[in-house]
Amino acid sequence: MSENEIDPRSLQFYRDAVTTMIEAGVQFLVGGAYAFSRYTGISRHTKDYDVFLTRSETDKAMEVLSRAGYRTELTFPHWLGKAYNGDDFIDLIFGAGNGIATVDSLWFENAVDGE
């Protein structure tokens, strides 16, 4: 499989998890390689799927993803949670690793809808 191809199981997990969050009303922004692809047209699949959300939305996302059967954890309580399906995972990012920046409502003000 080339770096431009994504494993069908990974793709299904990402789609199912995103759909689960949308249906539960979780507000999030897609980041990482998938946002990069949206804006540049350059696709490169990585080992995970990154979403940015506020801290309270992270709790909600972890709850609905856990109910959907995915293993979740608050990996670093000051910035990162994760949802797992086998070896695949979604990073639920609500702050910077250095503890300085946090995701807040300003992040969503100029967000572009995508599919």
In the chain, the number of structural domains is 1
Q: How much is the pTM? A: 0.88
Classify residue 27: in a domain, yes or no: yes
pLDDT score, position 23? 98
Q: State how far the Cα of 45 lies from the Cα of 34, in Å rounded to an integer.
A: 8
23 part of a folded domain? yes
Residue 1 lies in a domain: no
Domain assignment present for residue 3? The answer is no
pLDDT means over runs of 10, the chain (115 residues): 72 95 96 62 74 97 98 96 96 93 93 79
In this prediction, residue 7 carries a pLDDT of 86
pLDDT at residue 16, as a whole number: 97
| CATH code where residue 103 lies | 3.30.460.40
pLDDT score, position 6? 81
Structural domain including 63 reads: 8-108
DSSP state of 99: S
Cα gap 94→5, rounded to integer Å: 28
